[in-house]
Amino acid sequence: MTSITIQPKKLKGTIAVPTSKSLAHREIIAASLAPGQSIISNVSMSDDITATIEGMKALGALIKEEDGKLYITGALTNGLSNASIDCHESGSTLRFLIPISLIHDNYVHFTGQGKLGSRPLDVYYKIFDSQKIVYLYRENALDLYLMGYLKPGRFEVPGNVSSQFITGLLFALPRLEGDSDIVLTSPLESSGYIDLTLDVLKEYGIQIEQTEDGYHVPGNQVYQAQKSSVEGDFSQAAFYLVADILGNDITITNLNMDTHQGDKAIVEILERMGAKLIQTEEGYKMTADKLVATDVDASNCPDIIPVLSLAMALAEGTSHITNAGRLRIKECDRLHAICEELKAMNVDVTEYEDAITIVGRKDLTGVRLSSYNDHRMAMMGAIAATVTKEPVSIDNRECVSKSYPEFFNDYVKLGGEVE
Ligand SMILES: O=C(O)C1=C[C@@H](OP(=O)(O)O)[C@@H](O)[C@H](O)C1
Ligand SMILES: C=C(OP(=O)(O)O)C(=O)O
């Protein structure tokens, strides 16, 4: 684990952000479930995406990478087989692949690292109990054995723990031999991610009907192989757009402003804070003469909150982030980590159970920060170093490889000074 020290320096230049991790997971899974060959272009590799590729291979898909494209032949085996899947630290891989691994009678072993073993899975355990699927796990370590298969029927799922459970079920249920209903027992959060799932399912020929309280999923459906391409990631773009409004000058070359990615909300939130979106020949950037505080409901855009909190720390007035409880069950307790990082940089911040209040100030103090082994916290620290007077140190720089292995190389290409 390597620590880095970043000298306070502004960034300038053009950058293509990694392509959407959320869309890449979904494309790889849908293609792996489709008989025939699919070709997916523009997949940015990261530890999480590697975990999904290896997981789908373990479940029978043939996947090879050539000339920057993924060639995927869906080949899920029928009948009892067994598979071992290492999810690394990817919540998406784990929660998407669990129901998929149970489309057929199977014996599967899921492992993972970091905090993944303590992120919630009870929603699935309840389903296993009611469907007599055998499961064995160790507390706080991801070491989960599953034996059995999913039966079509009624699946009651809370909407406010993680949308990833619903996505996992939406992928698996169309392949069962009967119709199913997913019934949401509490309001849906992270709904933009379900929209992405529904988009990809539709692209692969799968029909899902939205109901008053969830989704009706006809069974016996067949995924149709596709040729597809993945667009730029707004969760990653958020780091550079916030950097822009803090006085850097970075143009992003690969953003689709018509995207359905929920994290595009970053643009509208920063505009509310006084920023302007500028389209140039090369792409998009943002500028701001002055930043004002704002209030943000985090329930539909949890991943942009770390870097957004930095913009709030430098805005005039007091900002409130609400409905942010689920940030505590990400790669680290992000709600607490954000507050600790901002406090370390001299910001007046108050942590509540599911909210944060940030009193804006004119500057930030450069200090030693912890990454909390969380890619988004490490990248937030690096953007902070573009506005401090003193250097910022961050431990465990490698953690960015979860979503953006090239982050510090790109940072240096943009003029950053990293030791
Ligand atoms: O479906 C997805 O691709 C994701 C859903 C979100 O999780 P929750 O639904 O658990 O909030 C998000 O935080 C995660 O990074 C990716
Ligand atoms: C929370 C994240 O991903 P996952 O839930 O897939 O681990 C993330 O990328 O910030």
pLDDT tens digit string along 238-295? 999 999 999 999 999 999 999 999 999 999 999 999 999 999 999 999 999 999 999 9
Chain Cα centroid distance, residue 281:
29
Closest residue by Cα to atom 10, ligand 2, is 303
Residue 125, classed as helix, strand or coil, is: helix
Closest residue by Cα to atom 2, ligand 2, is 330
Measure 379 CA to ligand 2 centroid, in angstroms: 14
Say whether pLDDT at 78 is over 70. no
Tens digit of each residue's pLDDT (9 = 90 or more) over 183-225:
999 999 999 999 999 999 999 999 999 999 999 999 999 999 9
Instruction: Identify the weakest region by mean pLDDT among 69-78, 98-107, 276-285, 322-331.
Output: 69-78
User: What mean pLDDT do residues 33-40 have?
Assistant: 96
Nearest to 16, CA basis, from 400, 382, 406, 415: 406
Nearest to 402, CA basis, from 369, 372, 370: 372
Spell out a b/e string for 355-386, using b for 16 or more CB atoms within 10 Å of the CB, else e: bbbbbbbeebebbebbbbbbbbbbbbbbbbbb
Instruction: Determine whether 410 is an active site residue.
Output: no
- Average pLDDT along the chain: 96
**Structural domains for the chain:** 4-18+232-418 (3.65.10.10), 21-229 (3.65.10.10)
Q: Per the annotation, where are the binding residues for 3-phosphoshikimate? A: 21-22, 26, 162-164, 190, 303, 330
Nearest to 310, CA basis, from 249, 262, 239, 368: 239
Residue 333, classed as helix, strand or coil, is: coil
What size, in residues, is the chain? 419
Say whether pLDDT at 139 is over 90. no
Share of the chain above pLDDT 90, in %: 96
Q: Per the annotation, where are the binding residues? A: 21-22, 26, 91, 119, 162-164, 190, 303, 330, 334, 376, 402
Strand partners, 73: 37, 62
Q: Give me the pLDDT at residue 80, please.
A: 59
Which residues in 280-390 belong to E strands, given as ranges? 284-287, 295-297, 318-322, 348-351, 356-359, 368-369
pLDDT band for 77, please (50, 70, 90 cuts): low
Tens digit of each residue's pLDDT (9 = 90 or more) over 284-338:
999 999 999 999 999 999 999 999 999 999 999 999 999 999 999 999 999 999 9
Instruction: Identify the weakest region by mean pLDDT among 23-37, 73-87, 131-145, 195-209.
Output: 73-87
CA distances from 276 to 27, 291, 307 (A): 32, 11, 18
Q: In ligand 2, which atom is closest to the CA atom of 94?
A: 6
For residue 324, the ligand closest to its alpha carbon is 1
306 lines ligand 1 (CB under 6 A): no
Task: Specify the DSSP class assigned to residue 20.
Answer: P
Share of the chain above pLDDT 70, in %: 99
To test the ligand 1 pocket, which listed residue (96, 164, 236, 304) has its Cβ within 8 A of the most ligand atoms? 164
pLDDT band for 174, please (50, 70, 90 cuts): very high
User: What mean pLDDT do residues 412-417 have?
Assistant: 98
Q: What is the DSSP string of 371-382?
A: -TT-HHHHHHHH
Measure 331 CA to ligand 2 centroid, in angstroms: 7
User: What mean pLDDT do residues 63-79 have?
Assistant: 84
For residue 167, the ligand closest to its alpha carbon is 1
To test the ligand 2 pocket, which listed residue (29, 48, 371) has its Cβ within 8 A of the most ligand atoms? 48
pLDDT band for 76, please (50, 70, 90 cuts): low
Tens digit of each residue's pLDDT (9 = 90 or more) over 331-355:
999 999 999 999 999 999 999 999 9
Distance CA 158, CA 163 (A): 9
Q: What are phi and psi of 236, to 5 degrees?
A: -80, -40
Q: Given 47, 244, 263, 303, which residue is catalytic?
A: 303
To test the ligand 2 pocket, which listed residue (98, 330, 335) has its Cβ within 8 A of the most ligand atoms? 330
The residue assigned the tokens 């720089």 is: 397
Task: Indicate whether this complex's ipTM tops 0.95.
Answer: yes
pLDDT band for 376, please (50, 70, 90 cuts): very high
Measure 8 CA to ligand 1 centroid, in angstroms: 32
Q: Which residues line ligand 2 (CB under 6 A)?
A: 48, 90-92, 303, 330-331, 376, 403
For residue 322, how many C-alpha atoms fall within 13 Å in the half-sphere facing its CB?
5
Task: Specify whether the CB–CB gap between 101 and 77 falls below 8 A.
Answer: no
CA distances from 140 to 117, 118, 121, 134, 327 (A): 5, 5, 11, 19, 18
Q: Give me the pLDDT at residue 79, please.
A: 56
234 lines ligand 1 (CB under 6 A): no
pLDDT band for 140, please (50, 70, 90 cuts): confident
Q: What is the DSSP string of 41-69?
A: E-PPP-HHHHHHHHHHHHTT-EEEEETTE
Task: Specify whether the CB–CB gap between 155 and 199 falls below 8 A.
Answer: no
190 lines ligand 1 (CB under 6 A): yes
Q: Give me the pLDDT at residue 160, please.
A: 94
